[in-house]
Amino acid sequence: MDTGFIDELRADPGAVQGWLSEDLELIAVLLLYAVTMFVGATLLFVVQPMVGKMILPLLGGTPAVWSTCMVFFQAALLGGYAYAHTSSARLSLPRQMLLHLGLMLLPLAVLPLAVNPALLRGGVANPVLNVLVLLSLSVGLPFLVVSATAPLLQKWFSQTGHAAASDPYFLYAASNLGSMLALLGYPTLIEPRLHLRGEGCLTQTRLWSMGYVVLLVLIALCAFNLWRRGPVAPRAEPESPEKPPEPPPSAAQYLRWIVLAFVPSSLMIGATTYITTDIAAVPLLWVMPLAIYLLTFILAFGRWPSLLHRLVVALTVPAVLVVMFLIISALKQRIWVTVLWHFLLLFLVALACHGELALSRPSSRHLTHFYLLLSVGGVLGGLFNGLLAPVVFHSLLEYPLVMALACFLVGGRRPARAWAPRAVALDIAVAVAVGIAALILYSDLVTIRIDTAFFTRLLRVPSGTVAEWVTPVELTVNKVLGYGLPLIALLFVRRRRLALALGLVAVLIVGDFVDARNENQILKARSFFGVLQVTRDTTLAGYTELRHGTTLHGRQALDQKLRPEPLAYYHRGSPIALVMDELDRRSTVLNAAVIGLGTGTMAAFMRPGDTITFYEIDPLVRDIATNRFYFAYVPEAIDRGVTVRIEMGDARIRMEQVRKERPQERYDVIVVDAFSSDAIPVHLLTREALRLYLDMLSVRGLLVLHLSNRYLSLEPVVANLAEDAHLGGRLLRHDLNPVGEGATSSTWAVLARTPAAFGDLTKDPGWTPAKLETSPRVGVWTDDFHNLLRVFDW
């Protein structure tokens, strides 16, 4: 038994006590800095979805709101890092501490946080600049000050004399852990339990203000501790003849750090936009990609071993190829499968890039400079996705393009010999060959058929059954082989990273070209609110169709005799058609409002002398719906004497303004049919929205809501709202059994103040109404309180 410690204690109890006291103090210092960075990061990443949720209803619930918010937050983060770098380089430590504590007192004057809706124009023009101005005035100062916490405290910690002070990057992992927990906690713990704003209760904004005060106190304690002990220069590692001193980073190294930070930032925003376009622009789907992004920072800067890094790099290219296949082939699958693949891709690419950054990080002398360059890369990624891509590309092309750039970057530097003219020419030749192969296969010049008779004999079932089973299998086989073979070929040249990246770009170009040709695309355009595509099928029973993202938003027949007929969700046997028939029976003149213009199909139901008001936020949708070359429902309604108004802006904001401008105006029917691709604007299905609709509805008026959705079960949301407002409600799922050419299945809910308001609807033989079923789990949605987790249909 070792008795040395006991002997020392007997000989000099005071020395040992001092030794223990010093160790405990060092542990306390480390804990203080870690907790402070954790709190700062938590505040930094709770405020992002919180403020984004405040702005979302002002711009129609479009997914682009989050992309624009990310541009601002990354720019503000860059500002915080630049402040940390400049103050560390030009001020003595005492002055720097006084300056930072003084700056932290200023945001107390603007807390709790709030946004001013008057600063947004509601979608008449591209609102990016307005959103950035609104964010700057609402949250700019607090966010800027808090964002400087991570680099400043790491710099301060490097001068504490602590044993770990020479390499304080591990504190970055603690900071990102707080960020990730905050992001995951917001949609699961904070959002479902606390309102955004309110009086006399704990709200999200008040909770954030309390957290900010706690952070201020913790930073003051860090500054006091460092001032009391006095700054200690970081311990320099002993130089050896075998290990020369570290040279300062070169300009090439700076550029590489920026690009490695650019790729995960851009990919994170691209994945978020791609996923939320078809589901819903809600904090849950915002924060998951951002949480994954931060998790990779935690892993990479937490003593990341090179062996695991090489494994991640090896898995990155196959993951990119799989996700690229899913995007190009449009292979149908369950939403959770799609989401998991995109999340896995983001995790691997971000971890590979952040691993490269962690393994090439400089000494603590260049710490603030390193973080500044990482922030520059992050801002450039946000600017590329949020500002440049919507102007340059007509689709979400930036997302797969950054995947190709990631394949080029990961795996270390490219050897000098790989840039020789012959090597580059070979890489280009490989990419061209892959592109030609993709053109042949994607153009359906090669089609694989399955022998149904063979399967009939093998399975011993009726031929018709096999044919019904084989047809989708044939489709899947052709998609897997046709779209997959060029990508599989790229897997074999993954070590030639230029050939791999150029080959992926070639496949993307070919896929976009072939899709446009196969779908008879006559227009593809992109606005702040999404990607719109108009296609025209010139076959015997031809249609012009409008798609927003991947979702059909209306169609019209090309045949002049059938052209006036409403189609898709609005066909003559649909619930909305039956509602309009009932209104026609009870009134000679009809005043209708429709939230969501689409192709303007609702105008087909209007008679001469009727008035219809469309509320639309996207100017591009308006231009398409009013152009006879694309769709004629609106122009032809005007020709036959219908008064057509198009109110531009978010529906709720514009409807509030119409109520003030024309206080006597009441609608006989309000149809809520606003979607961004398949994503719902949540703020149009809240208690406050319903109250506005009822204020604008006549006594016997009907409120009709289109609930068709691939991923969300919205019936209990509407049922709970109806019960809360003491309204009667009916639900109809129309499953096309059979209806006719050009019709589409749909689900609608009809609400009214009294049973008499439904008129003869419930007696119509074509209408089989079902009662709206409420759900206590879903609750009553409000502007400050709603939770999509409980209505997801995974």
pLDDT per residue over 683-720, tens digit each?
Answer: 888 888 999 999 999 988 999 998 887 777 888 888 89
The CATH homologous superfamily of the domain defined by 568-791: Vaccinia Virus protein VP39 (3.40.50.150)
Q: Above pLDDT 90, what percent of the chain?
A: 11
- The pLDDT of residue 504 is 87
Phi-psi region of 700 (alpha: psi -120 to 50; beta: other; left: phi over 0): alpha
CA distances from 294 to 285, 347, 373, 527 (A): 15, 9, 17, 29
CB 611 within 8 A of CB 575: no
Q: pLDDT grade, residue 622 (50/70/90)?
A: very high
pTM of the model: 0.75
Partners of residue 110 on adjacent β-strands: none
DSSP 3-state of 648: strand
More confident residue, 319 or 85: 319
- The pLDDT of residue 205 is 86
Nearest to residue 695, comparing CAs of 724, 725, 718, 675? Answer: 725
CB 53 within 8 A of CB 283: yes
Q: Convert the pLDDT of each residue in 401-418 to its tens digit.
A: 988 888 888 755 566 566
Q: Give the N- to C-terminal CA distance of the chain in Å, as an integer.
A: 62
More confident residue, 515 or 259: 259
- The pLDDT of residue 85 is 79
Find the mean pLDDT for residues 386-398. 82
DSSP classification of residue 359? H
Identical topology for domains 11-232+253-390+405-409 and 568-791 = no
Q: Which two tokens stand for residue 47?
A: 């405020």
Tracing tokens 């009907």 back to the chain, one arrives at: 702
- The pLDDT of residue 468 is 39
- The pLDDT of residue 240 is 47
Find the mean pLDDT for residues 189-206. 76
CB 494 within 8 A of CB 407: yes
CA distance 438 to 506: 8
- The pLDDT of residue 465 is 38
More confident residue, 6 or 324: 324
Domain ranges of the chain: 11-232+253-390+405-409, 416-518, 568-791
Secondary structure string (H, E, C) spanning 111-161: CCCCCCHHHCCCCCCCCHHHHHHHHHHHHHHHHHHHHCHHHHHHHHHCCCC
Q: Which two tokens stand for residue 220?
A: 């003051």
User: How confident is the prediction for the chain on average, in pLDDT?
Assistant: 78
Q: Convert the pLDDT of each residue in 212-247 to its tens digit.
A: 999 999 988 888 877 776 665 555 445 444 545 556
Cis peptide before 112 (omega within 30 of 0): yes
- Which of the following CATH numbers is that of domain 11-232+253-390+405-409: 3.30.365.10, 1.10.760.10, 1.20.1250.20, 3.30.70.240? 1.20.1250.20
Q: pLDDT grade, residue 642 (50/70/90)?
A: very high
pLDDT at 123 over 70: no
CB 39 within 8 A of CB 218: yes
Highest mean pLDDT (candidates 209-218, 355-364, 530-539, 764-773): 209-218
Find the mean pLDDT for residues 521-547. 81
CB 43 within 8 A of CB 212: yes
Helix-, strand-, coil-residue percentages of the chain, each rounded to 5: 60, 10, 30
Q: Which helix (H) or strand (E) holds 291?
A: helix 283-300
CA distances from 692 to 305, 597, 776 (A): 58, 19, 24
- The pLDDT of residue 279 is 56
